[in-house]
Amino acid sequence: MEYLFPFFIDCLNLLLRWTHLIVGIAWIGASFYFVWLDNSLHAPKDSHLKELGVSGELWAVHGGGFYNPQKYAVAPKVIPNNLHWFYWEAYSTWLSGIALFTVSYLANAKVMLVDARVADISGNVAILAALAYLTVGWLIYNQLCKFYGVGAKADKKVAISIFIYIIIATWIACHIFSGRAAFLMTGAMIATIMAANVFFWIIPGQKTVIASIKAGESPDPIHGMIGKQRSVHNTFFTLPVLFCMISNHYSLTYQAKDNWLVLVLIMTSGALIRYFFVSRHKNKPSYVSLSIGLLLLILCFWKIAPPKPVETVALKPPTIEKVESIIQERCVVCHNNQIANKNIRLNERQLIEDQAGLIHQQVVVTKIMPMGNATNITDEERNLIDLWFQSKSK
């Protein structure tokens, strides 16, 4: 049965990734909808609705049906029995994400989290660092929010402080973990903050309000103010986190020089673009934020663009036998008939020939492979692969 272990791990990875994607879409979809709804409400004209405590309403049509959602200034006088709660979308997204992170990264930390060129640490140290990074990230964020409180002025101070903190946290991640893992860790830290906002503040605050109403007391509006502040943070975190989720497909970003700055630029761009859409919901679209966001993306792409190749003295290219020998020693352990990461096999000469461009990109240009340089490929060997590929391209 031992031979089936890699197969079971792949199946588990697939199911967890699929689950994470499904519940993540549900969470983000609900979040985006309520942010749009909150910013699209109009004061009710019906005096009866005003008497009931309704502060805003909206008429909408979707799927052949007409809808009239209403929002209360604090809460209705009587809480219905069939009240629907939105929290399992957030919880299941975080739980499935942590499970996927454990299977994909923590279970093979030395390869997936560590790059000796960044920090030569052991797998166990990397695991402890990763768990501490997620935990401390939430603790610092939460303290910043509690320190400044809520209100218009406080919200601005909190936003600036969080922005500075995330820049610092991004720099730290990119100087502890491999580039690929650092981008994912940064996204996981922010996602942990988002889920913790729901678990520790938004839902408990709503439950406290409901308990007050059922007890015949006037609910304290502070719970709604805190919940709103954390919800706004969550919506601006969304696009940066989504990029971090897909970043491991784009080594040109996390393998770039000053990769922490690349990530900061992209995440800031995402937050600014999200701000544009939020302002658009209020019929006051901020084209300034959209323009700055797009300019930051352009600046980022300019920064990571490859330099013009330097003309060198022509050298005799290595034979395919030499290249095959290097790949057999450094790459085939993860790319063979039994284990074919990313569905790539390199255990036959023709397969090497057919995938020369991909090999060159991953081994020479981005140097992301071998993962974490686990097989200790040398710069000389990378140069030989480069020379072999260049000779094929002529």
DSSP 244-306: HHHGGG-HHHHTSTTHHHHHHHHHHHHHHHHHHHHHHHTT---HHHHHHHHHHHHHHHHHHSP
Model confidence over 274-296: pLDDT tens digits? 999 999 998 899 999 999 999 99
What per-residue confidence (pLDDT) applies to 332? 78
Q: Are residues 291 and 359 in the same domain?
A: no
What per-residue confidence (pLDDT) applies to 394? 62
**Residue 88 belongs to a domain:** yes
Q: Which amino acid is at 360?
A: H
Q: How far is CA 48 from CA 52, 66, 72, in A?
A: 6, 21, 13
Model confidence over 103-123: pLDDT tens digits? 999 998 998 999 888 999 999
Distance (Å, rounded) from C-alpha 385 to C-alpha 122?
A: 29
DSSP 77: S
**Residue 314 belongs to a domain:** no
Q: Are residues 76 and 168 in the same domain?
A: yes
**263 with 186: CB under 8 angstroms?**
yes
Q: Are residues 358 and 265 in the same domain?
A: no
Domain of residue 77 covers 2-304
**13 with 104: CB under 8 angstroms?**
yes
**Residue 315 belongs to a domain:** no
Model confidence over 31-88: pLDDT tens digits? 999 999 999 999 998 888 888 889 999 999 999 999 999 998 878 888 888 899 999 9
Q: Are residues 101 and 201 in the same domain?
A: yes
Structure tokens at 271: 């937050």
Where are any strands of DSSP class E within 35-83? 54-57, 60-62, 65-67, 70-72
- Out of 279, 304, 329, pick the residue that ends a domain: 304
**307 with 265: CB under 8 angstroms?**
no
Q: Are residues 149 and 257 in the same domain?
A: yes
**Residue 113 belongs to a domain:** yes
**Residue 381 belongs to a domain:** yes
Distance (Å, rounded) from C-alpha 221 to C-alpha 70?
A: 18
Q: In this structure, is the dihedral angle defined by the CA atoms of residues 198, 200, 205 and 211, taken in order, positive or negative?
A: positive
Q: Are residues 220 and 328 in the same domain?
A: no
Q: Are residues 89 and 238 in the same domain?
A: yes
Structure tokens at 129: 């660092």
What per-residue confidence (pLDDT) applies to 109? 93
- For the residues 127-152, what does the mean pLDDT come to? 97
Q: Are residues 327 and 202 in the same domain?
A: no
**Residue 187 belongs to a domain:** yes
Distance (Å, rounded) from C-alpha 11 to C-alpha 154?
A: 47
Distance (Å, rounded) from C-alpha 228 to C-alpha 206?
A: 11
What is the phi/psi pair of residue 42, to 5°? -120, 150
Distance (Å, rounded) from C-alpha 244 to C-alpha 238?
A: 10
**Residue 311 belongs to a domain:** no
Q: Are residues 357 and 244 in the same domain?
A: no
Q: Are residues 182 and 328 in the same domain?
A: no
Q: Are residues 327 and 361 in the same domain?
A: yes
Distance (Å, rounded) from C-alpha 168 to C-alpha 76?
A: 43
- Out of 254, 271, 304, pick the residue that ends a domain: 304
Distance (Å, rounded) from C-alpha 88 to C-alpha 31?
A: 12
Angle at 138 between CA 136 and CA 141, to 5 degrees: 105
- Out of 256, 280, 304, pick the residue that ends a domain: 304
Number of Cβ within a 10 Å radius of residue 322: 15
Prediction pTM value: 0.87
**20 with 223: CB under 8 angstroms?**
no
Q: Which amino acid is at 209?
A: V
Number of domains in the chain: 2
Q: Judge whether residue 335 has pLDDT over 60.
A: yes
